[in-house]
Amino acid sequence: MEAKESAYIPSKLDDPARFFFWDLDVGLTFAGVGGFTAIMGAPMIGMLLGAFAGYWLSRVKSGEGRGFFYALLYWYLPVGTLNIKTKRIPPSWIREYTG
């Protein structure tokens, strides 16, 4: 008998990236907030704040499309922060078009 491997195999090729069992943006929010407060000397408070920030972000994202968080970053961060340079996506500061 063969040993059963416990590797995660995505069911689709376009599955989002994961950080442990969270989506990548939620996991990085948890790790960023938790890591920052751990460096400041409060690791337990950082874990709680990181868990709350990750939970809040997942609740904000629920019911929206897969790119909702990145769309928020595009619209509300300053121009050039994300370094998105494509011809198809207009700059976020242009709010109205004529024509």
Domain boundaries, the chain: 18-76
Tell whether the model's pLDDT for residue 88 goes beyond 70.
Answer: no
Per-residue pLDDT of 6-19, as tens digits, reads: 777 767 777 667 77
Mean pLDDT of the region 66-84: 71
Greatest Cα pair distance in the chain: 68
Show the DSSP H helices in 1-99 as ranges.
Answer: 24-39, 43-61, 68-76
Q: pTM for this structure? A: 0.56
Cα-Cα-Cα-Cα torsion 48, 59, 22, 40, nearest 10 degrees, comes to -30
